[in-house]
Amino acid sequence: MDAYLVAAIREAEQRAIAVVGAEVLMQRAAAGLAAAILRRLERPYGSKVLIVVGSGNNGGDALYAGVRMRGRGVAVTAWRTGSKVHDQGWQAFLAAGGREVSDTEALASLPGLTAVVDGVAGIGSHPGLAGPVAVFAEACQRAEVEVIAVDLPSGLAPEPPFVDAAHFTASLTVTFGGYKLCQLLEPARSACGEIELVDIGLQFDSPAVREWSPAEVAAAWPVPDATMDKYTRGVVGLDTGSGDYPGAAVLGACGAIYAGSGMVRYLGPPQVATKVVDRFPNVVTATGRVQSLVLGSGWGDRKEKGLVARAISSGVPLVVDADALRYLDGPAHSKVLLTPHAGELAYLLGIERAEVSADPLAAVRRAADRTGAVVLLKGATQYVATPGESVVQLGVPGPAWTAQAGSGDVLAGIAGALLATGLEPARAAVLAASIQAMTAAANPGPHPPQELAMLLPGVVAGFGDR
């Protein structure tokens, strides 16, 4: 699933308009919008729908969709929120028997409505709503009335930076031509509800982000064959944990083991090794060759600057997590994967965490280009940026239950296991983030990260049938 910057969408629209004209594009959008709304209504005939109309093309799309709904027996009213409106759409709406209501009438009608169509603002608007529209959007949410957004919920920024401003919260967003960043990136994504894409004939060059699907994860997962042994499946080394945080080492080993690593070598402090082996007797503590190395999870105050530099210079595929990120000094290389959360990424870039949270897409790109490493930014949306590449990859989204202490330690172990199979860091990062999300989605509830890790094989098992 690809999503595009506003500038790219505008360019694609202009190219299409030059070929077929603006009216044709609007009618395509309106037809798709009306069809989506009608599918949403249990019984179109007699349903009551209010269109909240702005001055731009989104309002025109909504009005023409209203004309089509009137033809199916839907009782459609419209509230014009500004002094201007798409004139041809408005005249067509009135000619079809549509009725205008005032702001007070719109608010009073909420309890009896089947749905509200939000056609106030589009991708060219500023974030936020004001006056009666802001009041109405909040009332819709309180009344739990179904809101269907035209292209995107009005008041929502179409792309980062996302700001805390009044906006509609939709149960369905019908978008046109291509996905917008707000429809894939949290926290905006949650305001869009279900998303339906209507093809209106736009052609794009390159997306800004590309979100993986579960089917793509299954197809890319490194499933062993009968010719492989524990060494060819990949040996991952873990130098993780400390006396203060031994659990991080146990969790990382858990992630690597249940992701299918051929062998796990634990290379950290001896007192931690005992705890790891007590939990997982298949973990080896003897030194030896590894195909990947995971550093940093649970280090705490361990002073390991030299270890990070030596690991980078060795050329071994490497996951640098948590506390090891503090000892990253100088450029890395293409086999290094950094796995920070927002606070750790802010530290790497020398900026405030709030700046990362406001525009994580820009921050993760900057970190990849500055460090020379692939960067996986963990969070509600999981971003993977590769140095020199403009497209940022997104992991499969998962339920919020996965936001627990220890999830990052497990993730580092999974990523290390995937690197050990020979996968490139960007692919290993996307697969690791995605498999956690997919496993959580397949096993609803607040499972702790170690239990989710133990459920990985049940999800991965199906990949062998691809």
pLDDT confidence tier of residue 229, bands split at 50, 70 and 90: low
pLDDT value at 466 more than 70: no
Tokens at 88, concatenated: 């041809």
pLDDT value at 392 more than 70: yes
pTM, 2 dp: 0.92
14-39 residue pLDDT tens: 999 999 999 999 999 999 999 999 99
Per domain, the residue ranges of the chain are: 2-209, 214-465
Helix and strand numbers (H, E) in the chain are 16, 18
- Computed over every residue of the chain, the mean pLDDT equals 94
165-221 residue pLDDT tens: 999 999 999 999 999 999 999 999 999 999 999 999 999 989 999 999 999 999 999
Identity of the amino acid at 16 = A
Is the bond preceding residue 387 a cis peptide, omega within 30 degrees? no
Class of domain 214-465 (CATH, top level) = alpha beta
Q: Which residues contact 452 (CB under 8 A, 6 or more apart)?
A: 402, 407, 410, 436, 439, 440, 443
Cβ 119 vs Cβ 58: under 8 Å: yes
The per-residue pLDDT for 449 is 94
Identity of the amino acid at 321 = D
445-463 residue pLDDT tens: 889 999 999 999 999 998 8
| Region 2-209: CATH code | 3.40.50.10260
The per-residue pLDDT for 464 is 65
Percent of the chain at pLDDT > 90 equals: 88
192-203 residue pLDDT tens: 999 999 999 999
Region 306-315 average pLDDT: 91
Is the bond preceding residue 269 a cis peptide, omega within 30 degrees? no
The per-residue pLDDT for 465 is 61
Q: How many CB atoms lie within 10 A of CB 96?
A: 16
β-pair type (292-295, 235-239): parallel
| Cα–Cα distance, 137 to 129 (Å, whole number) | 9
Count CA within 13 A, CB hemisphere, residue 411.
32
